[in-house]
Amino acid sequence: MIHDLEKKFKDIQSYIHKKFSDFEDSNDIDVSRDEWKRPEGGGGITQVIANGNFFDNCAINFSSIYGKDLPKAALARTLSKKAEYGYRAMGISVISHPKNPHIPTSHMNVRIFAILDQNNDIADWWVGGGYDLTPFLPYEEDIIQWHSSAKAALEPFGKNFYEDFSNNCNKYFEIPHRNERRGVGGIFFDNLTDFTSINESMKFLKSVAECYVDSYSNIINKRKETQYDEIQKEFQLFRRGRYAEFNLIYDRGTSFGLQSNGRIESILASLPSDVKWSYKKSPEYDLLQENLLNYINKDWNV
Amino acid sequence: MIHDLEKKFKDIQSYIHKKFSDFEDSNDIDVSRDEWKRPEGGGGITQVIANGNFFDNCAINFSSIYGKDLPKAALARTLSKKAEYGYRAMGISVISHPKNPHIPTSHMNVRIFAILDQNNDIADWWVGGGYDLTPFLPYEEDIIQWHSSAKAALEPFGKNFYEDFSNNCNKYFEIPHRNERRGVGGIFFDNLTDFTSINESMKFLKSVAECYVDSYSNIINKRKETQYDEIQKEFQLFRRGRYAEFNLIYDRGTSFGLQSNGRIESILASLPSDVKWSYKKSPEYDLLQENLLNYINKDWNV
């Protein structure tokens, strides 16, 4: 069962890697693929595209971790079984940092968290994940499309899924010390135990991942030829600072990785390749920032 | 009493700002000086030098915060009085990010944490602070001088101060997820209640600040003409990523600032202006990294 699930997640990883690689039109880029083992159990495959014509960097990670004691960040409280025989956490996590600031940064994650029985099989489980969009130079139609396609994809799985998950997303991707959201939202779900079988759960996660890829690819194809200037690029680098702040201080996935002694280079492959912080802001920065805040500090639920 | 203390800390701030400004030989730099008020009580003065010929950025911050309830990060457990009439936290914090990677990044902080009585005067207090050095292209003689001068400066104040404080520093500036220290250490003290008067405490803090400035200026003067290449500069930007990770995830000063609703732009003025993260490392990076780790993952206590 574990092996079969791993295969399904790896297929999702390959699918996304193939789709995203197609946006690169140069061979002079850094492509990495590393399989790694975790000393305490499990491991993963880290795939990174970097220094491309299209991506500054993009990480597409698979990991499947086995452990005895639940890490603090695991949030297994909704499960009926205790983890006396250990747990298995498995999933895909994607973060993309395109070069062109007209294209948003995006994040997607699908995962299963399972309590094992004495045969090392799954006794109980939940699924979690979602995806969210972080624009720099925002386009209203892209944001609406992002949300509408999520709604359509979730409809067959649960009547309230989109409404609940988009609200979750707004709440989760908050940067309290900045009083800002990370972006324009999307969907986010955790501790989801609605599915009656692992197969149903996987079908759902696969559908989430595919919808993300389609939806993000649509935006890329619409914006990739749009020219940008130095001021817009620099604004993107400053805003990436917010992304680093969120991931390092608040993100539960990152905390889980650090607490469960995951492979640090894989966990932090989500960080942007280039980031700027500046105390003094230019008038051009202030204008771009003001515009962006009008987009990110509101609900886009459709 | 509070006003008098604030004056003394502001004098330290001016002294450091003057000394550091002298390293800039251009007028075409960003110099900021902002006074700010905290809605809940207190405020500060933030001084930043940025985009210079010498500093990429450097923040010299004064803050004096009044509050009713102790923030979690305040660590007031060593004090005899309860904070029924509120607290006052006051101090200077300096972080420098020089352009030239032959010159280390440095940090210095001196502060008083006081429990107030019903007349808004100081009922009990501790002092905290210290300074530490984060080299990129390390020089053994600079590190030894950094530690020796700290030892000499602390000697008159307490027989075991240097030994205790340099051990504290090694422990505090650790980045557990990287299994690395932040740098080559220095001194760090917290909850220090050894002084019989506030004046004695301030004399001590002033001496710590002055020793830091002298010691760091010595290193600057020795290394500022040393040429560096693109690979060395890029290595500095990668290593600054570690600095951002430490400050955002582990630093108690940053946590205190965020928890006490301090002015976010002032708190995060400590972050480096330019940071890089990269999954794939070049052989040149690996060599510089290997060399650096030999210096930072050891005790330099003299």
Does a structural domain hold residue A60? yes
Average pLDDT over residues A200-219: 98
Rounded-to-integer distance, Cα B181 and Cα B297, Å = 6
Hey, of A279, A281, A285, A286, which one would you mutate to test binding to chain B, going by the most B CBs within 10 A of its CB? A279
Does a structural domain hold residue A8? yes
Cβ <8 Å between A275 and B59 = no
Cβ <8 Å between B278 and A278 = no
Question: A145-159, A170-184, B18-32 — which is least confidently predicted?
Answer: B18-32
Catalytic residue check, B107: yes
Nearest CA distance, B272 vs chain A (angstrom): 6
Residue B261 pLDDT greater than 90, yes or no: no
What's the confidence (pLDDT) of residue B107?
Answer: 98
What's the confidence (pLDDT) of residue A28?
Answer: 81
Residue A76 pLDDT greater than 60, yes or no: no
The percentage of chain B sitting over the pLDDT mark of 70, rounded to a whole number, equals 96
How confident is the model over B203-214, as pLDDT tens digits?
A: 999 999 999 999
Contact of B175 with chain A, judged by CB distance below 8 Å, is answered with no
Does a structural domain hold residue A301? no
What's the pTM value of the predicted model, to 2 decimals?
0.94
Q: Measured between CB atoms, which of A264, A274, A279 is closest to B178?
A: A264
How confident is the model over B100-123, as pLDDT tens digits?
A: 999 999 999 999 999 999 988 999
Q: How many CB atoms lie within 10 A of CB A197?
A: 9
What's the confidence (pLDDT) of residue B75?
Answer: 58
What's the confidence (pLDDT) of residue B168?
Answer: 97
Q: Which residues of B touch A248 (CB under 8 A)?
A: 244-245, 248-249
Domain range for B241 is: 2-296
What's the confidence (pLDDT) of residue B71?
Answer: 67
How confident is the model over A253-279, as pLDDT tens digits?
A: 888 788 777 799 999 999 999 999 999
Does a structural domain hold residue B63? yes
How confident is the model over B130-169, as pLDDT tens digits?
A: 999 999 999 999 999 999 999 999 999 999 999 999 999 9
**Of these residues, B102, B107, B147, B177, which one is catalytic?**
B107
Average pLDDT over residues A183-193: 96
The catalytic site residues of A sit at 107
| Overall domain count for chain B | 1
Q: What is the DSSP string of A112-175?
A: EEEEE-TTSSEEEEEEEEEEEEE-SS--HHHHHHHHHHHHHHHTTT-TTHHHHHHHHHHHHSEE
Cβ <8 Å between B59 and A32 = no
Does a structural domain hold residue B302? no
Average pLDDT over residues A136-146: 98
Q: What CATH number did the domain enclosing A50 receive?
A: 3.40.1500.10
How confident is the model over A50-73, as pLDDT tens digits?
A: 999 999 999 999 999 998 877 666
pLDDT band at B255 (very low <50, low <70, confident <90, very high): confident
What's the confidence (pLDDT) of residue B153?
Answer: 97
Does a structural domain hold residue A217? yes
Residue B238 pLDDT greater than 90, yes or no: yes
- The ipTM of this complex is 0.93
How confident is the model over A81-122, as pLDDT tens digits?
A: 677 888 999 999 999 999 999 999 999 999 999 999 998 899
Does a structural domain hold residue A302? no
